[in-house]
A = this chain, B = another copy of it.
Amino acid sequence: MNNEMLLMIPGPTNLPEPVRQALAQPAIYHRGEQFAQLLEVCTEGLKPVFGTESDVLILTCSSTGAMEAGVVNFLSPGDRVIAIDTGKFGQRLGTIAEAFGAEVTWLKVEPGRAASADVLDVLCAQVEPKAVLFVQNETSTGVCQNVAALSEVANSHGALVIVDAISSLGGIPFQMDEWSVDVVLAGSQKALMLPPGLAFVAVSERAWRAAEAARMPCYYFDLQAARQSAAKGQTPYTPNVSMIVALAEAISLLQAEGLPAVYRRHQQMGQATRAAVQALGLALFADPEFASDVVTAVQSPEGLDSTELVKRVRDDHNILISGGQGELKGKIFRIGHLGCAGIEQVRRTIGAVAASLVEMGYDCAAQAAAEAIDEVVANF
């Protein structure tokens, strides 16, 4: 597969060969001992990634389905909640809550910045929310928020903390129990190195108690049903068994590398990408204090439509990076560095971006960028 496109977008990511081979295994039945063991391996294997000893449930859906599950199981129509709007993905949890009848107060954050715990504190005092909803990693802007700090504030006001860790889990550390987060959502196609199609929800004991009183309607995403089935080694509805076989393989890849090493690899890719981009003479979009180690957003140089750059990098170099979304379309481009990628993939990508910019008539320091990556690696 030498002509496989290198996916340097913030998910889906390239698939490791063992994961692809696992997907091609013969079908197994989802109500039997073999599947029960597989489910156990997966849920137990995911717990350290979430940093929890609570329940981790595996859903057959994309990540947005897990977001819906994370809202409708714990809230009732009319509940007041605060949703932190950090961008396209930060908006989604709040939008789902509104669709199911919650009264949402938005904490709007300037794109490229993280929410302030102090501002959240003031807003919580005014709103007295049942829950606070936010992302760890805002994929649209390359911002990684301080979950511990935001969770502490929400907890101090007695609010449930519901966090979308979809694009970060497995690439950036998450400590659900230590940070007192109640509901954490993740997806298969990011740092977990699988195709899209599975999503994960971790649920605290406090959240389970809230679920008993929650009155938003749900059926497919009923997590209490999922928990009951999980106790018997099953899922309430037929799961994507092939993906769960592949999940076990992906988890064993994470275990073989070791989670601390996995996180360090992502940190190194993040640092190297940021250093290289700046060495190229380009400006980072995200607040450096909250720069994400799984995706870097870069401001388009004056006069450049980033959509053109993305196309050129794809067509000339067989590497896919991302443009901006919504209001940021054309104004930024984004390099994803997560999953099974490493520093060599960052080098190739930066080289391709530099070459494409030069061809498009923009002066940029390709050599300096390569050296910046070397320096990060040498000092890491």
Check A63 against B238 for contact (C-beta < 8 Å). yes
How many angstroms between the C-alpha atoms of A303 and B30 in the bound complex?
28
Which residues of chain A from 1 to 47 have any CB-CB distance to chain B below 8 Å in the complex? 1, 4-5, 7, 9, 11-15, 20-21, 23-30
Which of A11, A95, A217, A236 is packed against the most chain B CB atoms within 10 Å?
Answer: A217
Interface residue from B61, B65, B241 paired with A195 (Cβ < 8 Å)? B241
B residues in contact with A216, CB < 8 Å: 217
Check B100 against A217 for contact (C-beta < 8 Å). yes
Check A196 against B238 for contact (C-beta < 8 Å). yes
Which of A9, A27, A100, A236 is packed against the most chain B CB atoms within 10 Å?
Answer: A27
Q: Is the interface of A mostly helix, strand, loop or mixed?
A: loop
Q: Chain A interface: which size bin?
A: 35 or more
> Closest CB-CB distance, A127 to chain B, in whole Å?
22
Mask for A54-76, Cβ within 8 A of B = 1, else 0? 00000011111101100000000
Which residues of chain A from 331 to 379 have any CB-CB distance to chain B below 8 Å in the complex? none
Nearest-neighbor residue (CB-CB) of A96 within chain B: B219
Check B23 against A7 for contact (C-beta < 8 Å). no
B residues in contact with A29, CB < 8 Å: 5, 7, 9, 12, 320
Check B23 against A196 for contact (C-beta < 8 Å). no
Check B218 against A99 for contact (C-beta < 8 Å). yes
B residues in contact with A67, CB < 8 Å: 220
The 8 A-B residue pairs whose C-beta atoms are closest, nearest first, are A197-B240, A24-B24, A195-B242, A64-B237, A23-B23, A196-B238, A4-B26, A20-B24
**Which residues of A come within 8 Å of B, CB atoms?**
1, 4-5, 7, 9, 11-15, 20-21, 23-30, 60-65, 67-68, 95-96, 99-101, 187, 189, 195-197, 216-221, 236-243, 320
9 extra A-B contacts, CB within 8 A, seeds A5-B26, A99-B219, A197-B242: A20-B25, A30-B196, A60-B196, A60-B197, A61-B220, A62-B237, A62-B239, A65-B65, A196-B240
